[in-house]
Amino acid sequence: MSFLDITVIPVPAGNKAAYLEHSRKTTVFFKEAGATSITECWGEDVPEGKATDFRKAVDLKDGEVVCVGWITWPDKAVRDAAWEKLMTDERMMGMEMPFDGKRMIFGGFDVIAEG
């Protein structure tokens, strides 16, 4: 089964175009490294929860939007090799992020069921 890298990111609402451009550029790098697809989502209906929610998870500030994205890899081995290569790729290292990376949540997940 596939392996996913999933992110939850607070992005300033005014940076939507910059976020999309950043995604377009990094998509090229991820696909070169073996990713099968990249998905980016712009929060439109992200309610506040009573105990926890996406907003609290990224310490969302006024004027920011919660974005969720995932990179699909064929398996964890491909993903691990890709990240090792990507973390030394000068093209990636030289990019500015149009969001606060310190508040980004990320993790890798084994896909255990698909419909």
**Average pLDDT of adjacent 10-residue blocks, the chain of 115 residues:** 96 97 96 98 96 96 98 98 94 89 96 92
* Closest CA relative to residue 28, chosen from 88, 87, 92: 92
What are the start-end ranges of the E strands in the chain? Answer: 3-12, 37-42, 64-73, 105-110
The pLDDT of residue 92 is 86
* Closest CA relative to residue 30, chosen from 58, 69, 68: 69
pTM: 0.92
